Structure 1
Amino acid sequence: MTRRSGRLQAKHENGSRHADKIAKIKKEQCNRKKTLKRLSGETQNLRVQEGTCKAEVLIETPMEGLQDTFEQPGLSQGARPSPLPRLSWGCSEDVWVKMLSKEIKYKHTKSSLERHPRLQPKMRAVLLDWLMEVCEAYVLHRQTFYLAQDFFDRFMLTQEDMQKERLQLIGITALFIASKIEEIYPPKIAELAYVTDGACLEEEILQMELIMLKALNWDLCPETVVSWMKLYIQMASVYDFTNLLVPQFSQETYIQITQLLDLCILDINSLDFKYGVLAAAAFCHFISFDVVQKVSGLTWEAVESCVNWMAPFIETMTGYESAKLKDFSKVSSEDRHNIQTHADYLAMLHEAQQKCTIRISGIFPPTPPSSAEKSSSH
């Protein structure tokens, strides 16, 4: 009995200590909830004043940086209003300001190739075309490819005299990083090493990953060309503002616009333009500029040069088979337009660049798309 009582007493003491720990944890949780509620109330007071959102919010980049954007031709503060309606899940002005601020923070330029005298623009085009093919093979999303493209171009801007033998390693590593950010089930590193046909080992990809992350300063959340395009076409097609995050645009039109963007992004000169401008210019070839201005806040002066530069690309595309929606196993019909696809882009690019050369020489002056072309494309 004594022995049994001792065990029972020890069990009772352990139970008491356990109950005390639970009570302590619950008390801490309660205090945390009160603190969060108080902070939430303070944040709400900062965000809302007389039913409208204030502009003084924390964003990734300083507000002063936006002045550079507003000072550009066609991008005055009054000419770039937010196209977003009132949002139930956030302040539309905050969302818009943050998107604009990323255009300043995440810089890209075609001058990056000048830092690498042994590389040619065609090498970049071949690499990006191959990455599109890999994305389609592994059923990766368009955003994944465009993140990889952005990581690659910004990384090359931080390097000097890169050898062409390293390009495939940099490209597949950029896709490796992007897929881990964007995909629910990213491909294994062994799979990505396999598609390089032995050119890149798993250890090399892991080493390059660390090098790229450090060079990019872990800035991995740009607004890509395709994310801007999604915003524009969604705002142009939206009919139910209560479900703004649900796609309400035509999938067929969307993939035709993204095919144009896929083709244009292979050209190094596409880096002359901000991603938001590049997406707006592509949209101009499928819909009236009045709509583009409404959904982007950009003036014609801001997009005119990009629209004219893009004209040979859309002209070339019309000579090829139009992009079609593809079926992918284990991908819902609502999501299939988001999967990156591949076409004979290098052949299209060569033809479009020849037309660009002819236009630059003055034989055929650049002209904006006609209403008939827009209607037929749409």
Structure 2
Amino acid sequence: MHIFHVSRLSQLEGYTWDIMPSKGENVESRTIDHEMPKDTSVRSKKRKSDVAVYLQDPDEVAEMTEKKQCGTLVCSNPESVHTIPCRRIPTPDNEVDPPVALNATGFSTLYTFKNIFVTPTRSSPLPVLCWASRDDVWNNLLKKDEMYSRDIHVMKKHPHLQPKMRAILLDWLMEVCEVYKLHRETFYLAQDYFDRFMATQTNVFKCTLQLIGISSLFIAAKMEEIYTPKVHQFAYVTDGACTEDDILCMELIIMKELMWRLSPLTPVSWLNIYMQVAYLKESEVLIPQYPQTTFVQIAELLDLCVLDVKCLEFSYGVLAASALFHFSSLELVEKVSALKWSDLEECVRWMVPFAMSIREVGSSALRTFKGIPADDMHNIQTHAAYLDWMATACSYPQVDVDRSQSSPIPSGVLTPPPSSEKPEGTVS
């Protein structure tokens, strides 16, 4: 039976997916077939993101290409007598014509100027950097967070779909990531691609949903992983519902609809920045200082929250800061994110039931994976009973934020450092 069989999706209540269930197996159980085709390539022992290697942002490449194309054009209106060149062209004698005064009559109605030097809305919490201006780096992060906008009303464009279908799909993608030992960043890239692509479409049917999801994960893996699972391995986990050709065709459709903008700053990326700033020693900027267990506990809360479509109301930076708040304090969150309580309050309150749900069952321990270096274990995406936890969270009444934080804090979580001291690499 195909995972996305139409007749099964019509009975979505209580419906769960298996990765490659056998013919004689009950499809209502959640089991993973560990006999999947495996890639024979050897996994890297060290992750490339742990070292300071400068790679140009794909978004910057696209932006530079657009600027170069615009620079070769003459900014004139064919129906207007006003011809306004964008640059001066030297003569054969290498003499440059003097600038000519332009007639501004009607100019403001024909052309619009945009200030590219944006004043930052949040002061930089980053330390002094030896390789770049910390203000420039912070401004670029904020700009990227605003560039990749999402549509909270995306489900209204698809009357045949329900929010729970999105939750089931993302939960299944987490399970696929765990089986193939893909990184958390890979899953969150796939989630971003899926949500932004769905915002560009209308009337998508549930029989196509899995193809969009697995194709988004295929793109994300090629963007993030050093050794990407082959396309036939992604097709395999769909139990024949999606062929290799289907995935390759959908891959191109998704990238075109997203205008090839594939490098968002995901919630887990923001969380990594916040925790690095919290535990940072100024002399060791490039080496992660935070405890892996703490990172996993907070990332687990983010994993649960992104299953709810309401997460699209908040920016990724606010989502990560709100998750950090539930494991630390407002003082620390404001210090590492430069966000104020007014920026966080709505998201923090929305996240309370999810935090209480995880606190009730207890956070998961740090898992180990064969072939993964010890210092990279926390970056591998894991899967838990998120759909059950989500159902528990929905059953909670409205709870005050202070009450939600009054429960005993699990061991190893963040505590706010004294304001007069730098954060240390150990938990107080």
Matched, 1:289 2:330: yes
Which of the numbers 291, 297, 300 marks the counterpart of 1:259? 300
Aligned 1:184-263 pairs, distance under 5 A: 184-239=226-281, 241-263=282-304
CA distance 1:172–1:282, shift in 2 (3 Å)? same
The letter of the residue matching 1:258 is A
Instruction: Verify: 1:273 aligned to 2:308, yes or no.
Output: no
* Count of residue correspondences: 305
Is the contact made by 2:267 and 2:316 (CA closer than 8 Å) also made in structure 1? yes
- 1:172 to 1:66, Cα distance in 2 relative to 1, 3 A: farther
Task: Tell me, yes or no, if the aligned pair for 2:349 and 2:400 is still in contact at 8 Å.
Answer: no
**Out of 147, 160, 164, which is 1:118 matched to?**
160
Q: What is the CA–CA distance in structure 2 between the aligned matches of 1:131 and 1:119, rounded to whole Å? A: 18
| 1:1-378 pair list within 5 angstroms | 77=121, 80-239=122-281, 241-355=282-396, 358-359=397-398, 364=399, 367=402, 369-370=404-405, 373-374=408-409, 378=413
In 2, the alpha carbon distance for the partners of 1:65 and 1:269 equals 32
Q: Secondary structure at the match of 2:289?
A: coil
What RMSD, in angstroms, separates the aligned Cα atoms of the two structures? 2.2
Q: Distance in 1 between matches of 2:234 and 2:336?
A: 38
| Comparing 344-353 and 317-326, the one that deviates more | 317-326
How far is 1:66 from its partner?
A: 5.5
Partner of residue 32, structure 1: none
Distance 1:153 1:63 in 2: 29
The answer to whether the 8 A contact 2:267-2:319 is kept is yes
Q: 1:371, CA displacement in angstroms?
A: 5.8
Preserved contact between residue 116 and residue 161 of structure 1 (Cα < 8 Å): yes
CA distance in 1 between counterparts of 2:118 and 2:326 reads 28
- Paired AA for residue 368 in structure 2: D
Change in 2 beyond 3 A, CA 1:201/1:269: same
Supply the distance in 2 between the matched residues of 1:150 and 1:110 (Cα, whole angstroms): 13
- In structure 2, what is the Cα distance between the partners aligned to 1:372 and 1:314? 11
1:243 Cα offset (Å):
2.4
Tell me: CA distance 1:178–1:249, structure 2 relative to 1, closer, same or farther (3 Å).
same
Q: How far apart are residue 110 of structure 1 and its match? A: 2.1
SS of residue in 1 equivalent to 2:165? helix
Q: Which runs of 5 or more structure 1 residues have no equivalent in the other structure? A: 1-57, 71-76
Distance 1:146 1:368, change over 3 A: farther
User: Where does the alignment leave 5 or more consecutive residues of structure 2 unmatched?
Assistant: 1-63, 68-113, 414-428
User: Aligned in 2, Cα 1:228/1:205: closer, same or farther, shift over 3 Å?
Assistant: same
Per-residue deviation, 1:368: 6.2
> 1:225, 1:278 within 8 Å by CA — same for their partners in 2?
yes
Shift of 1:109: 2.4
What SS does structure 2 have at the residue aligned with 1:334?
helix
User: Post-superposition shift, 1:64?
Assistant: 5.4
SS at match of 1:335: helix
What is the CA–CA distance in structure 2 between the aligned matches of 1:375 and 1:339, rounded to whole Å? 21
More helix by share: 1
Change (3 A) 1:130 1:63: farther
- In structure 1, how many angstroms separate the alpha carbons of the residues matched to 2:327 and 2:271? 12
Q: Deviations over 1:110-168 (max 9, x none)?
A: 21111101100000000000000000000000000000000000000000010011110
Alpha-carbon distance in structure 1 between the residues aligned to 2:151 and 2:410: 33
User: CA separation of 1:321/1:370 partners in 2, compared to 1, >3 Å: closer, same or farther?
Assistant: closer
Bigger Rg over Cα = 1
Instruction: Check the 8 A contact 1:66/1:100 in 2, yes or no.
Output: no
Q: How far apart in 1 are the matches of 2:344 and 2:412? A: 20
Shift of 1:200: 0.3
2 CA distance for matches of 1:375 and 1:344? 19
Asked if the contact 1:99–1:223 (Cα under 8 Å) also holds between the matched residues in 2, the reply is: yes
Verify the 8 A CA contact 1:288 1:374 in the aligned structure 2: no
* Kept in 2: contact 1:311–1:366 (CA 8 A): yes
CA distance in 1, matches of 2:147, 2:209: 25
Tell me how far apart the structure 2 counterparts of residues 84 and 193 of structure 1 sit (CA, whole Å). Answer: 42
